[in-house]
Structure 1
Amino acid sequence: MDIEKVNSMDFGEFVDVFGNVIERCPLIAAAVWSQRPFSGLEDLEKHFFAIVDALPQSGQEGILRCHPDLAGRELQRGALTAESQREQAGAGLASLGAGERLRLAELNAQYRARFGFPFVLAARLQDRAAVPRELARRLHCPPAQELRTALGEVRKICRLRLADLFGVDPARL
C-alpha cells in the first residue's frame, strides 16, 4: 500500500483498512479519514496520534478499555482481533502453561482494579517472560503516570500496525 492509495480511499474502505490500527476504535480511523490528504506514512501516523491526544482523559481511558487482557479469556476463546491474535501469539502468550496463565490473570485483575482499564503493552516488542514482569512493575506506578505509559504503548501498537499495512520496517518510521 502507498499513500496515494490511502488518499484515494473512500470513507468505508479507509475505516475497513485502518479501523483497528487503534484497537477496536474504528471511530478514530473515521476521524483521521477527514484529515486527508496525507503527505506520507508519518503524516498519517501523526493524525492518529493527534486524535488520541486531543481526547479528554475519559476518552483516552475508553481507548485503553478496548484492549484485551494479555493472555486473557479472549485469547483462550479465540475472540481477539486478528492483529491482537498475531501480536500475543508472537510474544508467546498463546502457549503459556496453566500456571503462567493463572499468574497473568491475577496480575491483570489487580491492574484493572487499580487503574480501571486493562494493562496495555506492545506485545510484539516483548517476550513471554517480560510481560508479567512489566505488568507487576507498572502495577506500582501512580495513576497519571500509568495512563501516559499505557497511551505510549497504544502509540507503539499503532506504529507497528501501520508499518504492517504499508509493508515497511517499523524501525523506518
Structure 2
Amino acid sequence: MCTSALTQSLVRRSVRAGHVTNHKYPHINMDIDAINALPCEDFVNIFGNVVEKCPLITAAVWSRRPFANLTALEAAISEFIDALPESGKEGILRCYPDLAGRDLQGDTLTRESREEHARAGLDALSSGEALRMSRLNWEYKVRFGFPFVICARMNDKANILQQLTERCRNERTVERARGIEEVKKISHLRLQSLVLPDAPNAPNKL
C-alpha cells in the first residue's frame, strides 16, 4: 500500500473509532497507534510544523517510534531539541517569525502562526502598538541575533509587549534558554491539536 493510501486507511480507522475531528489529516486528532503506523513522509507532513519550519526535527523523531502516548511523543521532540548545540537551538529560534511583523503583513505566516497571532490579538494592533512592537522586535534581534519567541496562545498582546520590553534586558544565554522554553510550549499546544490526549490511568501500550 502506498504511503498516501496507508495514511487514508489509518485516518478512516480513527474516524470509525471516533478519534478524528476532521478528515483532512493536518487538522485531525489521531490516536497513538495510527501515528506509530505512519510512514516517515506522512508523519512529517502532519507534524512537520510542530516546531516552526523544522521538518527535519520531525523526521528525526519519527525514527524513535513507537511512542507509548502523546507524552512520549512530546518528550522525544524536547529531548531532540535539548541535545542540540547552542548554535542549533539558536537556529530553531530563527525559524520563528517576528511577532506582528513582515510575515503577518505579507500574509506569509504558517497556518499555525497565523492562528496563534489571531488568538493573542496580534493581528489587530493599534498603530502605536504596531510601531512599538516593530521597534522592540528590531532591538531584540540586534541584541541577541535571533527573534523574540513567546507562546502567543498563552498570552495577550499587552503581556507580549511587556515581556518583550523586559526580556530585551536579559543576557544572551538567558534568552536562548527562555526562547527554547517558549518553543516547547508552542509545540505542546500544536501537538494537542493533532494527537488525542492521554487517557487518565491508561496502560502503557509498549
Scaled by the length of structure 2, what TM-score is found? Answer: 0.80
**1:168 positional shift:** 4.2
Sort the Cα spacing of 1:167 and 1:90 in 2 relative to 1 into closer, same or farther, 3 A: farther
Distance 1:96 1:167, change over 3 A: farther
Matched, 1:146 2:175: yes
Q: What is the CA-CA distance between 1:61 and the residue it aligns to?
A: 0.2
Paired residue total: 169
Choose the corresponding residue for 1:127, options 156, 166, 187: 156
- Structure 1 segments (4+ residues) deviating >2 Å: none
* Distance in 1 (alpha carbons) for counterparts of 2:172 and 2:89: 13
Alignment-derived partner of residue 166 in structure 1: 195
Task: Report the equivalent of 1:61.
Answer: 90
Question: Considering only CA atoms, is the larger Rg found in Structure 1 or Structure 2?
Answer: 2
In the alignment, structure 1 residue 116 sits paired with structure 2 residue 145: yes
Q: Distance in 1 between matches of 2:149 and 2:38?
A: 30
* 1:1-33 deviation per Cα after TM superposition (whole angstroms, max 9, x unaligned): 110011000010000001000000000000000
Q: Which runs of 5+ in 2 are unaligned?
A: 1-29, 199-206
Aligned Cα root-mean-square deviation (Å): 1.0
Could you tell me which amino acid in structure 1 is paired with residue 161 of structure 2? P
Helix, strand or coil: the match of 1:95? coil
Are residue 106 (structure 1) and residue 135 (structure 2) matched?
A: yes
Work out the CA distance in 1 between the residues paired with 2:195 and 2:69: 11
Q: Distance in 1 between matches of 2:122 and 2:161?
A: 11
Determine the structure 2 residue equivalent to 1:92. Answer: 121
Residues 40 and 59 in structure 2, CA contact (< 8 A), matched pair in contact too:
yes
Map Cα deviations across residues 22-59 of structure 1 (whole Å, 9 max, x no partner): 00000000000000100000000000001111111111
Distance 1:167 1:82 in 2: 20
Q: How does 1:33-72 map to 2 (within 5 A)?
A: 33-72=62-101
Which amino acid counterpart does residue 106 of structure 2 have in structure 1?
R
Q: Which has the higher helix share?
A: 1
**Contact 2:32/2:67, CA 8 A, preserved across alignment:** yes
Superposed CA deviations along residues 52-101 of structure 1, whole A, max 9, x for unmatched, are 11111111000000000011010111100000000011100001112111
Q: Deviations over 1:103-126 (max 9, x none)?
A: 100000000000000000000000
- Within 5 A, what are the aligned runs for 1:10-49? 10-49=39-78
Identify the residue that residue 76 of structure 1 maps to in structure 2.
Answer: 105
SS in 2 for 1:129: helix
